Structure 1
Amino acid sequence: MKLVESEYEILNRILNNRIVQHSFYWTSYLFFFGYMWGTYDDNFQKSFLIEIINIPLKMIMVYFIVYHLLPRYLFQKKILHFFAYFAITILLTAIIRRYTDNYVIQEYFLVYGKLPILDPNQFIYTLLKINLVLVLPMTLKITENVFSSDRKQRLLEKEKLEAELMFLKNQTHPHFLFNTLNNLYSLVLKKSDKSLNVILKLSELLRYMLYETNASRVSIQKELNSIKSYIELEKIRYGKRVDLSFNTWGNFTVDEIAPMLIIPFIENSFKHCTSGSNGEGWITIDMSILEHSFSLKIENSIPTTTQEITDAHGIGLKNVKRRLELLYEKDHELIIEESSDSYLVNLKLNLKARG
């Protein structure tokens, strides 16, 4: 059991070694009770010999309870089984101890007369004495199990969280790439010169997604650069059909953010703005950082004559909402408002709390 945490590795190995710990416990127990019982008649040699004779039985009882009954029954929530076997073990130990008292201790060390093995007073006194040796080992074992179970539960929750985040991220990337490749495909079919710029911007995004987004946090400046590349792709795709205003304020070089959180909102704004419309739309994107507080405001038009936007709340937006809940929990605020002619997203993140 790990009881000590020291800066010295050799000291950790010695003090947390099970053999060292057990040897220290039984030695301390022997000296404490050998000395205490010896003070009654100042015959310490006799009291130490009596404790040495009794220790093997106590050790067998302690190790049987601590390393067999506790993990097999109590820790498996078999409460009734544990208390039944525990009571049997204690009673058998007490009976053996009474035989030892009568035929060894009384015979060779004490002058008092022998009492019946099951004498009520002596039997209760024996039960109390043998239970004293159990208090510390059982307390430590139960405490260790509680902390171990808690650590395992936290580890399982962490692994589950990481698996869910990885799943969401792995869904978001193919979804994003699929949409971008569709854009490139349409430009290639039209034999547009813009397709070369699309390939260039797409390569920049791919480089970011492959080499940067595996980390839990990235520089918000890198995230901003990827957003700019994505916006350039969309500007190439839509041209004058979308009137875009993109503004940033603050220092983006200090803080970090979870990767690929912002692009799905921007992607969604282009879908709202252009789906089912042959006319022009508009998008306003404002991003700012002030004292580790990140703010994003995206507002876009919605065509008055529009077909149903099948992916308005699709996989990209659903995933990013879930990632926000998992990664930023109480450190984010997301408000989405939709009216007859516009769609508004307001996102605030406390980057310092997660830094």
Structure 2
Amino acid sequence: MVNLKNKNVEISLHILIWLVLFFLPAAFSVGSDADWKDLFRRFWLQLIFLALVFYANYNYLLKYFFGDKKVWFFIINLSMILVLIFVKNQIFSWLEPDRRNHLYRRPPAALFYFMDTLIYMIPVAFSIAINAGKKIQKAEEMKIEADNIKLQSELQHLKYQLQPHFFFNSLNNIYSLIDFAPDKAKQSIHSLSKLMRHLLYKTDVEKISLSEEVEFLNKYIELMSLRLNDNTKVYINFPKIIPEIKIAPLLFISIVENAFKHGISATQHSDIHFKMEIIKSEIHFTASNSNFPKTDADKSGSGIGVENLKKRLNLLYPEKHEFHSHLNTGMYIAEVKIITN
């Protein structure tokens, strides 16, 4: 459908250009003694032959030029041009008997043919330039399409990488509940099933609503909070009313996972804060947590979550995002800002 539309635009543009070229001589001759016969002889006949040369090359002969048969291209063009010049001279002789009777001096035939050949090479050059431009444009479009395919493949890979990571962390959480809180473990499995349903049906799209993403975060925070003791406090500050904004799915889950992974201690008091602000089309998400770094022996989560997020932000929101993380008075703070428009 797009190609057909482009073809129609191209045809319309060609018709418009030739109409302008044909009517300009008539417009400039208004008020003069020139009649239609003079216009045909002096301008329109030449334009018709120029159009013949142009479209013969544009539609057919350029396959020789771009197909490494340039010698044949020039031979065919030269032959066609010489024939057209001869035909034009015959028509002129018929329209101007004085030419036929040699009643006035005319330039040498060789010079006449040489000058006309140069004129007829102009549409040949134009057809080459237009087709070369189209080929360059097509090559650029193919490159863009290839880059888009590569981008989608990378994003799909990152998404598939993220989901097992998320599932692994959730199972770790449930496993820790089985011995001392089996009822909570059952509730966790039920909550996990809801989250997995979201992963299956809501993330296989380019974008989802921000409200769905916030709902997913709330469910995940609820799931992770089941294993917490009284030493850990979780504070959530999400907007009550969420505007109709579309974002890529699973953008903030890695930061939330990271906060629970590194912000909990079995013996010390710890705080975890999640905050989201929406300013017009900008989303500001902040997670801050007490900092209890894991040892090298702890492989839970394999540490890919935040790196995964950085790569996805670079691919999905180039030059439209910020990500910062730093320590401040014993609190680890991660901040993401996304411009969605």
TM-score grouping bracket, smaller chain normalisation: 0.7 to 0.9
> TM-score w.r.t. structure 1 length?
0.71
Question: Aligned letter for 1:61?
Answer: V
How much does 1:287 deviate?
0.7
Which consecutive unaligned segments of at least 5 residues does structure 1 have? 6-11
By relative contact order (CA 8 Å, sep 6+), the higher-ranking structure is 2
Question: Aligned letter for 1:349?
Answer: I
State the alpha-carbon separation in 2 of the partners of residues 3 and 170 from structure 1: 35
Q: Which moved more, 1:145-154 or 1:264-273?
A: 145-154
Question: Aligned letter for 2:156?
Answer: M
CA, structure 1 residues 298+309, in 2 after alignment: closer, same or farther (shift >3 Å)?
A: farther
State the alpha-carbon separation in 2 of the partners of residues 47 and 3 from structure 1: 38
1:272 and 1:312 in contact (8 A); partners too: no
* Secondary structure, counterpart of 1:193 in structure 2: helix
Question: Aligned letter for 2:215?
Answer: N
Counterpart selection for 2:275 from 287, 302, 305: 287
> TM-score w.r.t. structure 2 length?
0.73
How much does 1:34 deviate?
8.9
Question: Aligned letter for 1:168?
Answer: L
Question: Aligned letter for 1:173?
Answer: Q
Work out whether 1:108 is the aligned partner of 2:98. no
CA deviations on 1:148-197 (whole Å, 9 max, x unpaired) are 55544444433333332222222212321233234334544667121221
How much does 1:214 deviate?
3.0
* Secondary structure, counterpart of 1:333 in structure 2: strand
CA, structure 1 residues 153+251, in 2 after alignment: closer, same or farther (shift >3 Å)?
A: farther
How much does 1:141 deviate?
4.8
Work out whether 1:316 is the aligned partner of 2:316. no
Question: Which runs of structure 2 are paired with 1:1-355 in the superposition (5 Å)?
Answer: 16=9, 18=11, 42=34, 44-45=36-37, 48=40, 58-68=50-60, 70=62, 73=65, 88=75, 90-102=77-89, 104-105=90-91, 107-110=93-96, 111-112=98-99, 113=102, 117=109, 119=110, 121-131=111-121, 133=123, 141=131, 144-145=134-135, 147-185=137-175, 187-188=177-178, 192-237=182-227, 239-240=228-229, 243-256=232-245, 257-273=247-263, 279-280=267-268, 282-292=270-280, 293-303=282-292, 306-310=295-299, 314-338=303-327, 342-350=331-339, 354-355=340-341
State the alpha-carbon separation in 2 of the partners of residues 180 and 264 from structure 1: 12
Query: Which residue number corresponds to residue 9 of structure 1?
Result: none
CA, structure 1 residues 281+222, in 2 after alignment: closer, same or farther (shift >3 Å)?
A: farther
What percent identity do the matched residue pairs reach? 24
* Secondary structure, counterpart of 2:319 in structure 1: helix
Which consecutive unaligned segments of at least 5 residues does structure 2 have? none
Question: Aligned letter for 1:123?
Answer: Y
State the alpha-carbon separation in 2 of the partners of residues 71 and 284 from structure 1: 68
1:240 and 1:280 in contact (8 A); partners too: no
